A and B are shown apart, each in its own frame.
Chain A
């Protein structure tokens, strides 16, 4: 079984500041990990994914995430927040194969001008 914990249901940052959204996972097998973003009244869009290649994964819109097995973490970062980054972010994990994806509860990012 797998699970995902996202610390902080709401995060506020100033425009231009570092964005850090936390995700910790548990999985009985090496996982595949994803970050998705949801803008208001839309479905989720893929930001980036970890599939056991490079541990530092770069995604769209300047986001990146680092897989740290020892810490069972997959935190999402962006060096400089932009107003357009305001959205809800979901971390997800799957062991692959015929296994469903488990999503975290989401973190709403507010960017303050």
Chain B
């Protein structure tokens, strides 16, 4: 497709389980961002990739959170030993290059619910 694709769109899991969220970027977009959006709140930056390196991972809330990216392609965000406070919508956004004039293109997010 032409846009950013995220899967799954919804994920319900039990506390303590691991989850993996996937983001397929727009072809050619070198920059990729993960954000967390809790109910009724704004965007919380998690991590930023330029290609397959992560120059800024300062937003990852704990060592239970990790992310990787294969080249300038798919990225996965993994949450280990999930907790109820991890419940949120996880948004992925990609950007053409690093020039500040380029906007971010967002996927529709993965809605994660921890029981």
Q: Residues of A with Cβ closer than 8 Å to B?
A: 32, 34, 36, 41-46, 49, 51, 90, 94-106
Contacts known (A43-B106, A98-B55); A105 close to B41, Cβ less than 8 A: yes
Query: In the complex, what residues of B have CB within 8 A of residue A45's CB?
Result: 106
Chain B interface residue count, Cβ-Cβ cutoff 8 angstroms? 24
A51 touches B100 (CB 8 A): yes
A103 touches B43 (CB 8 A): yes
Query: In the complex, what residues of B have CB within 8 A of residue A42's CB?
Result: 108-109
> Would you give 17 A-B contacts (Cβ < 8 Å), ordered by A?
A41-B108, A43-B4, A43-B93, A43-B106, A43-B107, A43-B108, A43-B109, A51-B101, A97-B98, A97-B99, A98-B98, A100-B45, A100-B56, A101-B33, A103-B45, A105-B41, A105-B42
For the residues of B in contact with A, the DSSP-based class is loop
How far, in Å, is A8 (CB) from chain B's closest CB?
Answer: 13
| Residue among B4, B45, B93, B106 having the largest count of chain A Cβ atoms under 10 Å | B106
Query: In the complex, what residues of B have CB within 8 A of residue A90's CB?
Result: 42-43
A100 touches B48 (CB 8 A): yes
Q: B77 interface residue, CB < 8 Å from A?
A: no
Query: In the complex, what residues of A have CB within 8 A of residue B8's CB?
Result: none
A97 touches B100 (CB 8 A): yes
Bound together, the chains give a CA A38 to CA B91 distance in angstroms of: 12
